[in-house]
Amino acid sequence: MEVETENTDNGRCDRILIVDDSVQNVQLLEAYLISAGYDIECAYSGKDALASIMNNSKPDPDLIILDVMMPGMSGFEVCEEVKKHPDYMRIPVMLLTALQDIEDKVKGYEAGADEFLSKPVDKLELLIRVKSMLRTKRLNEDLESARNVIYTLALAIEANDPYTRGHSERVAEIGVSIARELGLSENQQETIRNAGILHDIGKIGISESILQKPGPLTEEELEAVQDHPAIGEKICQPLRSANKVLTVIRHHQERHDGEGYPDGLKGEEIPIEARIISVADAYDAMTSPRPYRPPMALRQVLDTLRSESGRQWDPEVVKVFLDLYSRGGLLARYSG
């Protein structure tokens, strides 16, 4: 059975760095991988491997295959050094080991290893795992590229509007502050940070004449504005690794009483991350100028949050926001 390689987007072959103090082991792996069409570089110590990886005069390896038991620096130590470096941490690492102890695998994963392969190495298993790791790496790179494009678009849209410049970043920061106070997980906080940046990106699909209108909106114009969460969700579909972010983008305009849009969710039917973004978004919107009004007075804003708690917004989220506000701290800069 043959395993076909897949070239990178620019047509070059994937480059794999083999690291092992045994010349015989390196030659065997090199023969297996060259036969499958990969470009190979070899290193015979952890120190030489790090020097090769961090040599800016040549391309980074697409994959590193590391022997665990080496004199000097072990494979665990090399892996840890690679994974803590911001320029190289995304390079996938496969550890080769004859060790069968579960504690050794735990140690490897703690060092940042992406995969293990047991010795003696089976050629077919090696090639299948290498192909799978490289495919995952390309997918992650594609998703990261899509994420960067969408983030840049979101911030560029804001930058052209004096009324909303900086709004998304403030919403993201306030939202994370609320989430942290509520004891939400790091993953949930990251979801809120991303959704805060992207929550209004759907407004790119709405006429500027509507968004900048200085007077009340007509019913038709209001319906157009209410389409922006669904438009934003569609724009961000390439972020397939962040489905929770899409959900928050879609539901950040729902209301606690079920009178929001686009789906009329209410109470705990609305994801907690969306309930948090809703409060952060409302606060920043009320304290900022809009084409149809100047910034609202701070006391009026806080009174509105209190009076609409339990109707428009989750009362627990509002309570946490008001507690945070009264204590200052991270929210002190948003004091109107």
Residues listed for the chain: 336
- Give the domains, in start order, of the chain with CATH numbers: 15-140 (3.40.50.2300), 161-334 (1.10.3210.10)
Please give the pLDDT value at position 77. Answer: 95
Write the DSSP symbol of residue 13: P
Q: Going by C-beta distance under 8 Å and a sequence separation of 6 or more, which residues neighbour residue 62? A: 8, 14, 15, 16, 91, 92, 134, 137
Please give the pLDDT value at position 317. Answer: 98
Task: Locate 309 and state its tokens.
Answer: 């708690």
CA separation (Å) from 188 to 46, 276, 279? 37, 11, 16
Q: What is the DSSP string of 196-220?
A: HHHTTGGGGGS-HHHHT-SSPPPHH
CA angle, 181 then 262 then 236, to 5°: 70
Q: How far apart are CA 11 and CA 17, in angstroms?
A: 19
Q: How far apart are CA 335 and CA 320, in angstroms?
A: 16
Please give the pLDDT value at position 332. Answer: 45
Please give the pLDDT value at position 335. Answer: 46
Look at the pTM and tell me if it is higher than 0.85: no
Phi, psi at 263, each rounded to 5° = -115, 0
Q: How far apart are CA 31 and CA 249, in angstroms?
A: 50
Q: For 114, what's the count of Cα atoms within 13 Å in the CB-facing half-sphere? A: 19
Contact 241, 193 (CB under 8 A): no
pLDDT along the chain (336 residues), means of 10: 54 88 96 95 96 89 95 94 92 87 82 91 94 90 75 71 78 95 94 92 86 88 93 82 86 98 97 98 91 89 96 98 82 46
Please give the pLDDT value at position 267. Answer: 97
Task: Give which of 109, 141, 137 is closest to 15, Cα–Cα.
Answer: 137
